[in-house]
Structure 1
Amino acid sequence: MRLVNNCFIGLAAGIILVGLPACEPATDSAAARETVTNDTVEQWMTDLSNWGRWGENDELGAVNLITPEKRMQAASLVKKGISVSLAHNAVKEKAVDNPSPFEHEMTATGVGSTPDFPFCVDRFSVLYHGFAHTHLDAICHMFHKGKMFNGHSQDEVTEEGASKYSIHHMKDGIFTRGILMDIPRLKGVPYLEPGTPIYPEDLDAWEKKAGLKVSSGDVVFIYTGRWKLRAEKGPWMISEKSAGLHASCAPWLKQRDVAILGSDAASDVAPSGVEGAAQPIHQLVLIAMGMPIFDNCDLEAVSEEAARQNRWEFLLTAAPIRVVGGTGSPLNPIATF
């Protein structure tokens, strides 16, 4: 993940303060891997593009795929009323994968509290883009050749924030079908080792195993076991070595018409395996397709609950903070079964 203009949010308790067919999933992944080069990614920037699909004045990108009908379908998925958070606890400790810890400052405590001011008050501060904090990337978060989604200039993101595709346009929330793809379970391992690529046939195989198919307007979460691995072996330089989607998965996401992509890391496998394109999934998803990205979700609890129920789909709800000009937002997505 790249930081954009050192994006910063201050929060306080309760108040804000300070080589493949263009759109076909790959079936011969060995051949697909060999043919994905930076030139392929550049071609896909055109072939997989949603530019103009929702008009010149669009502010939501692929979130437009979450229609009223899709929301009603998602609501019908609630069978047991069990809710599970998809966020990790705010990481307050500095580590190799968290150079900007979540800051929690108590400005008034219960110690010495008086009847005149019987309250406690705290301030939250977080540089949330990166590899530690659960957040949603708005589609203005990344540029390619000076452009963001729909051909808008990178100059439309200034020190005052983003004048196009700001996170506040998602103020009505995200309410749709969520799908968990448990790739370690598919492969019979507790977690994927750092640097393990996930290919289109893995996504196809998971659909078959789970007995479902990703459809238009879904949010797809890719579980790699990142947080389980971190708890077992400690933090590592995840920006340099991380399990995630290979670039060849981009046409698959486009063909399925996914609304938002999510994972327990940053979605891209690292290293990417595509010379000249460090984060091709981010590039293609955010800029070509206009698809926001959930990063650093904690999918441990939801993977356990999904396995207990043998149900890998759920109602997904999430509400970004209404920051005008924001390039994303920390948040707590919820899966309800």
Structure 2
Amino acid sequence: MPERALPSEQEVLGWIRQRRNWGRWGKDDQIGALNLVTPAKRAAAARLVRSGRSLSLSRPFPKEPGPSNALPAHHFMRTHPRGKGGFAADYYGIYYHGVASTHIDALCHTWDEEAMWNGRDPKKEITFDGARFGSVEHWADGIITRGVMLDVPRHRGVPCVTHERPVHGWELDDILTKRGIRLEPGDAVCVYSGREAWQAQDPEKPYGRPFGPPLQRPGLHVSCLPFLRDHDVRV
């Protein structure tokens, strides 16, 4: 297969400026591409169910400290007597940004030198008590849509993706073609990279950290941006 050219920094900046969804659903929109998940889209997704088997994308509650879990979660549990029986109650505390736990970032989570989602000023919208715009509460009704799993290690015939060979947008298109899959607007695309297999090769190597300079780790290359935008992927 001929070598495919990587995008330049200017190309990437062009994508971010020219192909973003700011204003697409109005200047006050706070749910972004969730607008693509219409009642008809949800109903169509429900009709696809055949076996009823569920596939979890969650990770274990990260209580144990480790190279990729610098801020372990808290979980304390107590029992209380009540009459001849009793009950148990517990407390949870978690810093879920990072790579130790599963989460979805809200639209207010990140920004560049220009602005955050829909052109808002983070200095005005983000406070110690919470976000005034683009917070996750606007997704409180849940995200019910068609999910599409793209298994990159299986496509490559390897145990896992490595940071030396990240996932590119054209590779995701190749997987769709090989599997005969057509993405539709509002789909949730899950890209499997074999993280557990990668971590097993060197358990002490951190997959990520919450603060400091970013680490190189296996996953999606910035070349995936047009793929996600062209297909109107929801998440």
* Residue aligned with 1:180, SS: strand
Q: How many angstroms does 1:243 deviate by? A: 1.2
User: Larger % of strand: which?
Assistant: 1
Conserved? CA contact 2:184–2:231, under 8 Å? yes
Tell me the secondary structure at the aligned position of residue 190 of structure 1. Answer: coil
Deviation at 1:228, TM superposition (A): 2.9
Q: CA, structure 1 residues 63+141, in 2 after alignment: closer, same or farther (shift >3 Å)? A: same
Name the counterpart of 1:30.
4
The residue aligned with 2:24 is 53
Distance in 2, Cα, partners of 1:109 & 1:232 = 40
* Unmatched segments (≥5 aa) in structure 2: 209-214
SS of the aligned residue for 2:44 comes to helix
Percent identity for Structure 1 against Structure 2? 38
Query: Contact conserved, 1:196 with 1:242, CA < 8 A, in 2?
Result: no
1:282-318 per-residue CA deviation (whole Å, 9 max, x = no partner) reads: xxxxxxxxxxxxxxxxxxxxxxxxxxxxxxxxxxxxx
Question: In the alignment, what sits opposite 2:132?
Answer: 163
CA distance in 2, matches of 1:116, 1:143: 55
Matched residue, 2:143: 174
Matches within 5 A, 1:117-156: 118-155=86-123, 156=125
SS for the counterpart of 1:245 is coil
Kindly provide the amino acid, as one letter, of the partner of residue 31 in structure 2. L
Q: Gaps (5+ residues) in structure 1?
A: 1-27, 261-337
How far did 1:171 drift? 0.8
Q: Relative CO higher for 1 or 2, CA cutoff 8 Å, sep ≥ 6? A: 1
TM-score by length of 2: 0.90
**Equivalent in 207, 212, 221 of residue 181 of structure 2:** 212
Q: Distance in 2 between matches of 1:189 and 1:54?
A: 41
Task: For residues 23-76 of structure 1, give each alpha carbon's deviation from its aligned partner in whole angstroms, at most 9, with x where no partner exists.
Answer: xxxxx8622x1x421x32222222211111001221100111111111111101
Aligned position for 1:305: none
Q: Distance in 2 between matches of 1:232 and 1:247?
A: 25
Other-structure match for 1:311: none
* 1:109 alignment partner, one of 75, 79, 83: 79
Instruction: Report what 2:157 is aligned to.
Output: 188
TM-score with structure 1 length normalisation?
0.64
**1:163 aligned partner, one-letter code:** R
- Asked if the contact 2:69/2:100 (under 8 Å) is kept, the reply is yes
Give CA-to-partner distance per residue, 1:68-87, whole Å, 9 cap, x none. 11111110110011112110
Number of the residue aligned with 1:248: 223
Q: CA deviation at 1:143?
A: 1.1
Aligned partners of 2:189, 2:63: CA distance in 1, in Å? 28
For 2:97 and 2:139, the matched residues in 1 are separated by: 18
Q: Which moved more, 1:146-155 or 1:167-176?
A: 146-155
Deviations 1:226-281, CA, capped at 9 Å, x for gaps = 02332454142223121111111111111100111xxxxxxxxxxxxxxxxxxxxx
Once the two structures are TM-superposed, the CA of residue 160 in structure 1 deviates from its matched residue by 1.3
- Taking the aligned partners of 2:131 and 2:85, their CA distance within structure 1 comes to 39
In structure 2, distance between residues paired with 1:235 and 1:87 = 22
2: distance between equivalents of 1:29 and 1:222? 22
